[in-house]
Amino acid sequence: MDRLIYTAVSGMADSMIRQRAIASNLANAQTIGFRAETFESAPVTIKGQALEARAMVTTGVLGADMSAGAIIETGNPLDVAINGEALLTVQAMDGTEAYTRRGDFSISASGALVNGDGRPVMGSGGPITVPLDTDVSIGPDGSVLVRERENPELPPQAVDKLKLVSPQGSPVAKGTDGLFRVRGGGVLPVDEAAQVQSGALEQSNVNATQILVEMVEAQRLFDMRTKLISTAREIDEGGANLMRI
Amino acid sequence: MPNSALQVARTGLEAQDTRMRVIANNLANVGTTAFKRDRANFATLAYQNLRVAGQQSSSETDYATGLNLGTGVAVQSTSRIATQGTLNNTGNALDLALDGDGYFQVELPGGQTAYTRAGNFTRSAEGELVTVQGYKVMPGITVPEDATAITVAPDGTVSATTAGSGTPTELGQIHIASFANPAGLQAMSDNFLLETGASGAAQLGTAGEAGRGNIRQGMLEASNVNVVEELVDMIECQRAYEINSKMISAVDEMLRNANQTL
């Protein structure tokens, strides 16, 4: 059988992987602060004595599309959307720092500030905790303001500040938990100028129209590659028929 | 591998279906006294790292890009949006609304305490202040049989005027419960909420103090569901469902085509 089918099969597998990544982006079109995956297919040429006429294809995830999602007003004082490209710092399962754009915060029974993913939010000196029975709000610079309910006439006091970091210059990669980390380890520097908008949430940056186009593209490409295999069979059958004469 | 795209799209359908259920429940309760709308929170499911960027592709080369594929989405939680509902004047002396944070305390038949903001109370045959279900509002307040007028002050003090007496007598005081994390309260039927480990213990106090709301007599708090907002959410949810189902049919067509062609 001609080697063509192996090339075509690698293309079919690539289309399937691509379709799966598209499906995942699509499924997360309404996940708060979600960053869509970007991917790319590349030819893999086997170096050797043979003619380099055919190349296998391999798909890779290039990283995440870090463009901003739409910001919608929620009116909830504990919701924050980040202006610009700064990232929020949260504590991952293993206790290390990881980054996210997800800013739908709530306060746990022990007073810890956690985001909608249940991850403790980091401040200037570790996870942020607020005194219980207080009204908590978040200032434009990310400071966590607390007003005692007992003394509503007192101005809100800053108890901590969200650790907003700048991803500029350090490539970040999405981990298996969906949180960003610096590629190769390390932490991002604090972005002093970062601004947040409270009472609003940043939506997923998945563009549904673009996704639909990508989906159809992947589907058609798969069909074309399927066709290649059937063509390969026809060629092969033709050759076998010739031999018979 | 071929089925994975189908499975990922399926998680999208399931999540939108759950969200639609939350929206339907909000809309169904648009006329429920003191109902608080829920919001469905989506979260990404775990990622599968099929290949890490920088992993060796041969003894001399590394992969320049990684291959970590998401496995979809799920509704992780629903959060109760506790904004104040509008107060509607009913004129009924035993209708109480909370203007601000806090909950009334109610004793369930088993002796357990439940919390509610629905203050459509009535008087039982024994004269006790009870909910529509007949559950006692705590602390128990008994209204004398010959009471002609009942007043509930903003701080929760209940007094009654009896026939033949000009001066009102104090019957007791309704205390308001507050929680460290009200979003952690577990909702049950009949407008009641139950204390959980996440909500923290109830802290009782006087209405109008320490952030607790004032009691407004003769009023009821309406549900905080905004019909227009829910309808917009409903359409958004429907469209998202449609796109996810398109993905399923696209992958299905791919597989069918492969089956037929090969």
- Write out chain A in H/E/C secondary structure: CCCHHHHHHHHHHHHHHHHHHHHHHHHCCCCCCCCCEEEEEEEECCCCCCCCCCCEEEEEEEEECCCCCCEEECCCCCEEEEECCCEEEEECCCCCEEEECCCECEECCCCEEECCCCCEEEECCEECECCCCEEEEECCCCEEEEEECCCCCCCCEEEEECCEECCCCCCEEECCCCCEEECCCCCCCECCCCEEEECEEECCCCCHHHHHHHHHHHHHHHHHHHHHHHHHHHHHHHHHHHHHC
Say what the pLDDT of residue A46 is.
64
Q: With bands split at pLDDT 50, 70 and 90, how would you rate the model's confidence at B232? A: very high
Contact A104 B68 (CB under 8 A): no
**B6 CA: distance to closest CA in chain A (Å):** 8
Identify which of A87, A97, A92 has the alpha carbon closest to the alpha carbon of residue A187: A97
Say what the pLDDT of residue B16 is.
93
**B48 CA: distance to closest CA in chain A (Å):** 6
pLDDT at residue B1 greater than cutoff 60: no
Tell me the per-residue pLDDT of A125-156, one tens digit each, with 9 for 90 and over: 889 998 877 888 899 998 999 888 777 778 88
Q: Average per-residue pLDDT in chain A?
A: 85
Rounded to 5°, angle at Cα A191 from A187 and A192? 135
With contacts defined as CB-CB under 8 Å, which chain B residues touch A12?
A: 258
pLDDT at residue A2 greater than cutoff 80: no
Instruction: For chain B, count helices (H), then strands (E).
Output: 2, 20
Say what the pLDDT of residue A120 is.
92
> Which DSSP state fits B182?
G
Alpha carbon distance B254, A22 (integer Å): 14
| ipTM, two decimals | 0.74
Tell me the per-residue pLDDT of B127-138, one tens digit each, with 9 for 90 and over: 888 998 889 888
CB A232 within 8 A of CB A11: no
**B144 CA: distance to closest CA in chain A (Å):** 35
Strand-pair partners of B160: B150, B169
Identify which of B134, B136, B80, B84 has the alpha carbon closest to the alpha carbon of residue B105: B136
**A82 CA: distance to closest CA in chain B (Å):** 18
Tell me the per-residue pLDDT of A82-107, one tens digit each, with 9 for 90 and over: 998 899 999 988 888 999 999 989 88
**A129 CA: distance to closest CA in chain B (Å):** 13
Distances (CA, A) of B94 to A95, B90, B155, B255: 52, 10, 15, 65
Q: With bands split at pLDDT 50, 70 and 90, how would you rate the model's confidence at B11? A: very high
Say what the pLDDT of residue A48 is.
64
Identify which of A171, A168, A122 has the alpha carbon closest to the alpha carbon of residue B65: A171
Alpha carbon distance B5, B12 (integer Å): 11
**A158 CA: distance to closest CA in chain B (Å):** 19
CB B70 within 8 A of CB B47: yes
With contacts defined as CB-CB under 8 Å, which chain B residues touch A104?
A: 41, 79
Q: Residue with structure tokens 């059958």?
A: A237
- For residues B30-48, give the mean pLDDT: 88
pLDDT at residue B19 greater than cutoff 50: yes
Say what the pLDDT of residue A75 is.
78
Give the three-class secondary structure for B166.
coil
Q: Which amino acid is at B164?
A: G
Tell me the per-residue pLDDT of B56-108, one tens digit each, with 9 for 90 and over: 767 777 766 677 788 888 888 888 888 889 999 998 888 999 988 899 999 98
- For residues B247-253, give the mean pLDDT: 91
What share of chain B has pLDDT > 90, as a percent? 30
Contact B262 A226 (CB under 8 A): yes
Contact B72 A12 (CB under 8 A): no
With contacts defined as CB-CB under 8 Å, which chain A residues touch B202?
A: none
Say what the pLDDT of residue A66 is.
85
Alpha carbon distance B147, B159 (integer Å): 10
pLDDT at residue B2 greater than cutoff 60: no
Contact A223 B257 (CB under 8 A): yes
With contacts defined as CB-CB under 8 Å, which chain B residues touch A212?
A: 243, 246
Contact B211 A184 (CB under 8 A): no
**What residue of B is the nearest CA neighbor of A203?**
B42
Alpha carbon distance A213, A165 (integer Å): 34
- Cβ–Cβ pairs < 8 A, chains A and B: 189
The shortest CB-CB distance from B2 to any of A16, A31, A150 is to: A16
Tell me the per-residue pLDDT of A28-57, one tens digit each, with 9 for 90 and over: 988 898 998 887 777 776 666 666 666 677
Contact B72 A23 (CB under 8 A): yes
**What residue of A is the nearest CA neighbor of B78?**
A116
Contact B8 A24 (CB under 8 A): yes
Q: With bands split at pLDDT 50, 70 and 90, how would you rate the model's confidence at B26? A: very high
Helix (H) / strand (E) element for B13: namely: helix B4-28
Contact B44 A178 (CB under 8 A): yes
Contact A133 B5 (CB under 8 A): no
Determine the distance from the C-alpha atom of residue A210 to the mean position of all C-alpha atoms in its chain, rounded to a whole number.
16
Alpha carbon distance B29, A85 (integer Å): 40
Q: Residue with structure tokens 């192996």?
A: A6
Say what the pLDDT of residue B196 is.
86
